[in-house]
Structure 1
Amino acid sequence: MGNTFLNLALLIIFHFSMPTFSMKLTTILTDQSALLALKDHVIHDPENVLTTNWSASAPVCNWFGVSCGSKHRRVTALNLTGLGLVGTLPPHLGNLSFLSLLRITNNSFYGRLPVQLSNLHRLKYLSFGSNYFSGEIPSWLGSLTELGGMSLYHNNFKGVIPFSLGYLSKLQILVLSENRISDLKEKFLKEDHLETTQSNHLRGMKPCVVQLDFMFQTAKLDLLEIPRRRKDKLPTQEDMIPLGTWRRFSYHELRQATDGFKDSRLLGNGSYGSVFQGILRDGTIIAVKVFKLELERAFKSFDVECDVLRNTRHRNLVKVISSCSNDLNFKALVLEFMPNGSLDKWLYSNTQYLDILQRLNIMIDVASALEYLHHGNATPVVHCDLKPNNVLLDEYMVAHLSDFGIAKLLSEEVSMIQTMTMATFGYMAPEYGVEGIVSTKGDVYSFGILLMEIITRKKPTDEMFAGERTLKSWVIESISASLNQVVDPKLLSTIGREDLKVENYALSILQVGLECCVELPNERLQMKEIVMKLKKIKEKLLRDMERVR
């Protein structure tokens, strides 16, 4: 009798535990199916991260970029930042019902945001910055009531900001800069919607850091854009400290960080300074630019670079962390470290390779930085020394313009000035080299040379260019004769992608470069036009990549 009762009890327990186990298995499979759908919607995975790591035979929680809750083992975070992924977001992502962090910054996702993402009611942090999403910012984002931070910067969103965002009571960070959003202040920053005080508060709610465009910004960094080394580390209050407000460094600290400015720590030399890699006591890696004060113009170079970097902020400009000035004996800038080095290193390496999409991304990054310098400031800034050595690449291969030591600040009334500043031969505009005339049009000319160099992998100072023959004239000759002779052979090696006509895109880019390099400054393009042309080329490339995948 006792055994019969025990067996019956075990049978009942087993019977009622089966649905629970089945339901748990189903929800895990739901997450897996959603992520595999995302993998299927990715048409280009340059690092083969999803291709090799996201497999149905492996536990979802062990996949790259995926974090799961310790108790329920559901997907709680997805971080695919900086992988160079190209594709669209599937509606299946809306089934990740336990997701609290979704971060796909610095990729090339495009199209509209699927409405099914409105089902992610546990989402706290959403970061889609630096992609190619388009359409209007969807009003359903206002239904994600747990959101504490949202970053949509550097996309192709247009229209106006939906009022529903203003009623997200927990939202503290909203970054919408570098989109085609109209009437930002008038349509969004109204007294009955968002107080236009210096601290910017959502109506009756917690303080909110808002970045709408570069004429209206706070000084704080977006907590979503702090690169995360560990996939399970969520942003903290400390991450929100702006770089420029950390602290000043003493000469002793910088000397210690760079091992006494040893040659083994030297990253490169510029006209007026040397750059060293440094490691602070807390492990932070920095770049220290030490100015050569024995040179006559070094003091002015330090002042100019400080002025430019202190008063500008753009994702494609190298960030200044701090400065160190010891009267007349020592002057240095502490800069954000760029682990992938310079564009020059990548272009002319025998072991590293940039495909057509990576090169186009870099060109768009540099063009965006110049557009901001020329048109995004009350005081236009002319860089004056654009070349591959001054284009630095971060860990996600995002390009950052550096070295403002000979930059010139123009006033609104004066569109050009005359100077004797020494720029780099081969890149400088004709009017700069002959008459010393500095204007934004000179940067446009230099950018055109840079475009041609990136596609041809030939420096304008190459020994093959002598006398009347220049990089520009060689490109013009080759375009009309044989394009294959001028394009970098590595770009034309499209094994497995023969249907992707890389030479057509190379030709389009070279034509933009030639339009930048016309002799008369007033006939050259503006950086705004150049950015639009390059983005159109990229959009066509993405469509073709999807077609031939």
Structure 2
Amino acid sequence: MSMMWIVFSALLFFTIITRFSVIQTASTSPALHPDELNSLEKVATTLGIKRVNLSYEDPCSLGTLMITQQVDSVWNPEVNNTIACDCSFNNKTICHITELVLMNFTLEGKLPPQLAKLRYLQSIDLSANYLTGTIPVEWASMSHLVLISLSGNRLSGKLPTWLQNLKNLKFLGVEGNQFSGPIPHELGNLTNLERLYLSSNQFTGSLPITLAKLVNLRRFWICDNNLSGTIPAYIGNWSRLERLYLYASGLKGPIPDAVASLESLSDLRISDMTGINSFPILSSKVLQTLILRNVSLSGPIPPYIWNLPNLKRLDLSFNKLTGEVQQIHKAPRFTYLAGNMLTGNVESAFFVNSKPNIDLSYNNFSWSSTCHENSNINTYRSSNSKNNLTGLFPCAGPITCKSYHRSLHINCGGENVQVTNSSRKITYQADNKKVWAATNLHMERWGISNTGDFTDDKSDDDTFIVSTSLRLSGAEKIKHHINYPLVLGATGAFVTSTLLAFGIYAWRRRREDKITRERDLRSQSLQTVCYTWRQLKAATNNFDQANKLGEGGFGAVFKGELWDGTIIAVKQLSSKSHQGNREFVNEIGMISGLNHPNLVKLYGCCVEKNQLLLVYEYMENNSLALALHEKRSLKLDWVARRKICVGIAKGLEFLHEGSTIRMVHRDIKTSNVLLDADLNAKISDFGLARLHEEERSHISTKVAGTMGYMAPEYVLWGQLTEKVDVYSFGVVAMEIVSGQSNTKHRGSDDQVSLINWALTLQQKGDILEIVDPLLEGDFNSKEAMRMINVALVCTNSSPSLRPTMSEAVQMLEGVIEIKEVMPDPGLYGHDWSMSKLMHIDTRGRSSTSGLTDRTETTMKSSVSGFNPYQYPSSSLECP
């Protein structure tokens, strides 16, 4: 009995001590205010989130809401789960939420009134969900709000008048809902408003005169509504206006002359409107898009239209324009003139123009009898010819053209396919070219003419519809003993059926593959995006070398822009991995589920056309290596350096201890730390080391890293723990302080590395001499000493003497004392200098170069050693 009591007492004592330690640690780290944590739980419930974990880790430190329920997301990378906080309160121990973003989560609840209890909230983005109801009146008290985005939901009712209370509001987006009634005149009191999106609702009445006070407005979208009245002249007051969208708004013309005074206007779009008749006077030198579609314009196109210097897209289709088109050589890249009564000679006026993508269909031009191959000028029904045959297809008449104009041998959506029958070989021509805005495309055996994509179609995918019938008039009828119509009909039916079946099979195969990949991702309850090859090809301009950000051992990285303006970085991986596509997708699915402010966000992937592609968020300021070592492209003051160092530490802390998938990065170095526009540090390539371990035969699956950053126990014995990353972090922290590279030779063999030099200076009592001289003494010496000492204790040769990353974070922030840095002659002395380590043959993992007789250590980094923004580093990667 006494023994049981002793055991029970010991367990009780241990529990009390553990709880006390946890409370002590929690009390020293900033945390979300308890009232806001409670409100956040109620917010999640009202939104329809059934399973949310707020107890695992503080939402402010995590930077996201831990949602564990399955969420079916759409393809685009705007899937976003973000919580931003201000932790400067109560001596930096209390945090308040300032931003809440839950986009594309298919939430089916209502707008939560409890958000009003988040008194410091400045930004609410709940767009692209299925939320219903109205905007709660409780939000009227949220005076700090700067942004409200509720677009793409099922909200209804009238737009509340109390919105005028939100004096700081700069962004109001409610498009794509079911709001009705008049637009409240109280909106005119939001004089700080810069973006007002009201499109695709059921608003009625005229635009209130009070909107004239919105002098800071930059974007105004009012499309697809049931408004009445005319376009107000007061839009001339919006001197900063950049984009004005009036598609099918219900308003009537004319376009007021005040538009001419809008010097910042870059995008004007008006369609489906009466009362305009004549062209507006436009003088903006920055105008890039002009759309006046189906607005009853008549007469000739005025010459000044062709002289707008930056115009890239012009759509004047479906009007009553007449006369010849002058100065066509100045036409914008995308020009739509379909559905008018324009005249002139097609050959002389248009085909000499080198600009692509011009749609001339359904006009009264005069035809020239020449076939124009592979042009992007659409001339379908553009002639006033009365001949049915040549009017339908000019090249199908007696004009000398190739056989492709009459061939049905097409492999829809695929590559060339050759089929051999008893008499001959038949090649089914590939159908794999990009179809642009207007197309007159002639392949070897077939051609296509189209009127172009819809101007506002944001999808990068084109849909091909296979016709099952072909009607040509003018065929001569001749009687023979053989029933030719029956034979031709049967043959045509067979060929058409075969092609249709083949096309359907190919389409279904591609669709099934895509559905399988997306199902694999959704099964993990994550918001991973499965991109198509066509989308990424369009985003990177066919992987143009001008968009290339860098080249690594496993492929290149390209900058891209998606249809919605989102900038991305697309990383090409080798497609020769021994892993199957499903394993690759599953691995990516797990990695993309890791969300932290100090990790580069992985949006998704593409597994298609024998390609393995990763899509990341784009980092504006490239890598830390470039900032520190390559011509000092960025000037990093001390405040920025300390923020970067702490950010790296917090990112690693999350990978080691905070994420549901614990992982070791294995290749932490300055080129794998990227910087965003605000110089926030984000770790790249985490979790990818396993993706290509078997990619190339000379890569060791045991050791992956970069010499100069790898811990000694990892180099010598292949021992892999979280302490390997701790060591690498220590090296990076020292580089941040000094501005020097750890692998840069400093003279004597004993001081070959930055860490050697730091230890030597420490022994001399001159440790601050290591601080980057470019700071010119403008730094906090106490903070510098702390960072240096943390770097030294992290690079101790003994893993057991190194701190964990959570301890390193607390040391950097001054929460706990730094462990004493023990002298370490065993590693840093003469016998174990860096130059000696570089010649170690680790357990026979060596390869002989074909160029020399030298045996090289094969500790090549895998994908994790690849910097998406390649830095021509002097750092020595193991060959």
Query: Structure 2 CA distance, aligned partners of 1:491 and 1:200?
Result: 53
- Show the 5 A alignment for 1:55-66: none
Tell which deviates more after alignment, 288-297 or 451-460.
Answer: 288-297
8 Å Cα contact 1:343/1:393 also seen in 2 = yes
1:502 aligns with 780
The amino acid of 2:785's aligned partner reads L
Q: Deviations over 1:222-270 (max 9, x none)?
A: 9x99999x9822476999xx99748532112212211222222122234
2:236 aligns with none
Query: Structure 2 CA distance, aligned partners of 1:442 and 1:356?
Result: 27
Q: Deviations over 1:18-73 (max 9, x none)?
A: xxxxxxxxxxxxxxxxxxxxxxxxxxxxxxxxxxxxxxxxxxxxxxxxxxxxxxxx
Query: Structure 2 CA distance, aligned partners of 1:275 and 1:508?
Result: 37
8 Å Cα contact 2:527/2:592 also seen in 1 = no
1:531 aligns with 809
Instruction: Return the match for 1:432 from 714, 718, 726.
Output: 714
Query: Structure 1 CA distance, aligned partners of 2:127 and 2:710?
Result: 36
| CA shift for structure 1 position 430 | 0.6
8 Å Cα contact 2:146/2:171 also seen in 1 = no
| CA shift for structure 1 position 316 | 1.2
The amino acid of 2:662's aligned partner reads P
2:153 aligns with none
When normalised by structure 1's length, the TM-score is 0.52
| CA shift for structure 1 position 201 | 8.2
8 Å Cα contact 1:492/1:503 also seen in 2 = no
- Show the 5 A alignment for 1:34-53: none
Determine helix, strand or coil for the equivalent of 1:340. coil
- Show the 5 A alignment for 1:330-409: 330-348=611-629, 349-404=631-686, 406-407=688-689
8 Å Cα contact 1:199/1:207 also seen in 2 = no
**Structure 1 residues 440, 484: CA separation in 2 closer, same or farther (over 3 Å shift)?**
closer
- Show the 5 A alignment for 1:103-252: 137=33, 139=35, 153-154=59-60, 175=83, 232-234=170-172, 245=527, 247-252=529-534
When normalised by structure 2's length, the TM-score is 0.34
Query: Structure 1 CA distance, aligned partners of 2:690 and 2:574?
Result: 20
1:311 aligns with 593
The amino acid of 1:334's aligned partner reads V
Q: Deviations over 1:407-460 (max 9, x none)?
A: 469xxxxxxxx9523211110111111122211010000000000011111111
Determine helix, strand or coil for the equivalent of 2:813. helix
**Structure 1 residues 174, 285: CA separation in 2 closer, same or farther (over 3 Å shift)?**
closer
Q: Deviations over 1:442-488 (max 9, x none)?
A: 00000000000111111112132774432211111123333353110
**Structure 1 residues 287, 251: CA separation in 2 closer, same or farther (over 3 Å shift)?**
same
Structure with higher Rg: it is 2
Query: Structure 1 CA distance, aligned partners of 2:804 and 2:127?
Result: 30
Instruction: Return the match for 1:480 from 754, 760, 763.
Output: 763
Query: Structure 1 CA distance, aligned partners of 2:682 and 2:742?
Result: 21
Asked if 1:491 is matched to 2:387, the reply is no
Query: Structure 2 CA distance, aligned partners of 1:136 and 1:332?
Result: 38
How many residue pairs match? The answer is 344
**More helix per residue:** 1
2:501 aligns with none
Q: Deviations over 1:310-355 (max 9, x none)?
A: 332212111121210016x200011111111111121124352111
Tell which deviates more after alignment, 349-358 or 527-536.
Answer: 349-358
- Show the 5 A alignment for 1:247-286: 247-286=529-568
Query: Structure 1 CA distance, aligned partners of 2:148 and 2:675?
Result: 14
The amino acid of 2:628's aligned partner reads L
Q: What root-mean-square deviation, in Å, do the aligned CA atoms of Structure 1 and Structure 2 show?
A: 5.0
The amino acid of 2:755's aligned partner reads K
1:513 aligns with 791
What are the ranges of 5 or more consecutive residues in structure 2 without an aligned counterpart?
A: 1-27, 47-53, 63-80, 88-105, 116-125, 130-144, 150-167, 177-196, 198-521, 692-699, 817-879
Determine helix, strand or coil for the equivalent of 1:464. coil
Query: Structure 1 CA distance, aligned partners of 2:667 and 2:82?
Result: 34
Query: Structure 2 CA distance, aligned partners of 1:136 and 1:386?
Result: 30
Query: Structure 2 CA distance, aligned partners of 1:225 and 1:438?
Result: 47
What are the ranges of 5 or more consecutive residues in structure 1 without an aligned counterpart?
A: 1-131, 157-172, 180-197, 209-218, 410-417, 495-500, 539-549
The amino acid of 2:614's aligned partner reads L
**Structure 1 residues 487, 304: CA separation in 2 closer, same or farther (over 3 Å shift)?**
farther
Query: Structure 2 CA distance, aligned partners of 1:199 and 1:315?
Result: 24
Query: Structure 2 CA distance, aligned partners of 1:135 and 1:366?
Result: 20
**Structure 1 residues 406, 467: CA separation in 2 closer, same or farther (over 3 Å shift)?**
farther
| CA shift for structure 1 position 297 | 8.9
The amino acid of 2:705's aligned partner reads A
**Structure 1 residues 381, 177: CA separation in 2 closer, same or farther (over 3 Å shift)?**
farther
1:16 aligns with none
Q: Deviations over 1:76-117 (max 9, x none)?
A: xxxxxxxxxxxxxxxxxxxxxxxxxxxxxxxxxxxxxxxxxx
Determine helix, strand or coil for the equivalent of 2:720. strand
